[in-house]
Chain A
Amino acid sequence: MQIGVVVFPGSNCDHDALHAATLASGREAVPLWHESTDLQGCDMIILPGGFSYGDYLRTGAIARFSPIMAAVAQFARAGNPVLGICNGFQILCEAGLLPGALLRNAGLRFVCRQVHLRVESTATPFTGGCRAGQVLQVPIAHGDGNYYAPPEVLEQLERRQQVIFRYCTAAGEITAAANPNGSLHHIAGICNAGRNVVGLMPHPERASEAGLGSADGLQLFASLQPCR
């Protein structure tokens, strides 16, 4: 499994993602510069967190016109696995590869802390190694993570089980207090209709080793094949 991590100007979690991807796959993950259109034969692409283009206009709005995004869109449409983390999730929504949008946090503040996520579906390339209902401890760090989609899109996401992660308590309960940003239906992550593109606001790469406080996030990178 060769994993590639796209680097936009303003990405700041690219090295964390490269580290987690290398750890999980046992193969050196490669950075992919945003001006390139060559995915270098990668089998899986990660769009990392950060503030691509300074979040100007809207989060992810300018990054989605980067030359590499045409190649990523083609890669995704061919059914290959693409994971968007935080800003990467925002970019995937702006690019139309995932439905909905990320609004300013309901509390208006940038929120940086550990949260709990309930795995709602294991039917994606990234959650295949998890158990349905499993609770993961993973940090969030965002100001615009408030997931929004029009009612008919939300209904479709729920019906097709495209909600992959929901904010929850440590015991896995979905409560208002456990929702850090006002996301509709407590949504922390979703997938596309083809289930190969997944986006989430929390940072699994920052929970990839016990020394970081949690190693729960590593499963997302390792689900495609067993850890070596």
Chain B
Amino acid sequence: MTAWIQVGLKPTVLDPQGQAIQAALRKLGFGAVAGVRQAKVFQVEMAPGADPAEAKRQIERAAREVLANPVIEEFSIRWEE
């Protein structure tokens, strides 16, 4: 079982890195690009035979308490068998 946890800045928080990437893309001729927000993704492998309900609880807590800073970031979790 693999958890994909995406962590990005909240929409209300300025993302200067995303803005710089957007400016570069436009300069390179990707004229259809209107906005870029940068995020990071964690690929977390669960132990073989781990209880799925317990694994989900742990990843939820890890995302909330460690992987994301709730002051500035939000996260989403996707599971893969």
| A contact residues vs B (CB 8 Å cutoff) | 57-58, 61, 65, 93-94, 99-101, 103-108, 148-150, 182
Contacts and interface: CB of A to CB of B under 8 A. Distances in A.
B32 interface: no
A79 B6 CA distance: 38
Which 5 pairs from chain A and chain B are nearest by CB?
Answer: A101-B71, A101-B72, A106-B16, A108-B16, A101-B69
B13 interface: yes
B5 to A, nearest CB: 12
A57 B62 CA distance: 13
B1 interface: no
Given A57-B67, A61-B66, A106 B14 contact: yes
A157 B12 CA distance: 19
Contact of B20 (A65, A103, A108, A148): A108
Nearest to A94: B69
A59 to B, nearest CB: 10
B69 A148 contact: no
A149 B71 contact: yes
Contact of B13 (A58, A93, A94, A148): A148
A101 B72 CA distance: 7
Interface in B4-22: 9, 12-14, 16-17, 20
Contact of A108 (B12, B17, B66): B17
10 contacts: A57-B67, A61-B66, A65-B66, A103-B13, A103-B16, A106-B14, A106-B16, A107-B16, A148-B14, A182-B14
